[in-house]
């Protein structure tokens, strides 16, 4: 099992219920593919570095998890097609 971090930026136009539901879907994906969530950071609404799809702000979430090496590709394939997700990135964290 390796350590990973999934960064997700959601559209700023989403309601509170939509944000919570989308975040839960992402967490469920991680668990479905054998991951174990260790930490979830909610950074709230932040200004984007540049405009993306006519959006200047987004809700930032950072989810740290442990999973097998095949899991990130599967998770990324599902997150890519979620309409509420503006941007995402999965990175491997160094083992301590």
Domains of the chain: 2-87 (3.30.70.60)
Kindly report the pTM of this predicted structure: 0.90
Q: Using N-to-C axis directions, what is the helix angle for 16-32 and 71-80, rounded to 10°? A: 150
Report the Cα–Cα distance between both ends of the chain, in Å, rounded: 13
**Per-residue pLDDT tens over the stretch 21-75:** 999 999 999 999 999 999 999 999 999 999 999 999 999 999 999 999 999 999 9
> What pLDDT band is residue 96 in, cutting at 50, 70 and 90?
low
């Amino acid at each position: 099992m390796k350590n990973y971090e999934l960064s997700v930026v959601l559209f700023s136009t989403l309601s509170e219920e939509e944000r919570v539901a989308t975040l839960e879907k992402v967490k469920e994906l991680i668990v479905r593919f054998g991951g174990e969530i260790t930490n979830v950071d909610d950074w709230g609404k932040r200004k984007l570095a540049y405009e993306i799809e006519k959006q200047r702000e987004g809700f930032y979430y950072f989810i740290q998890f442990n999973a097998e090496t095949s899991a990130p590709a599967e998770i990324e394939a599902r997150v890519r097609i979620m309409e509420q997700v503006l941007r995402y990135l999965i990175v491997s964290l160094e083992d301590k």
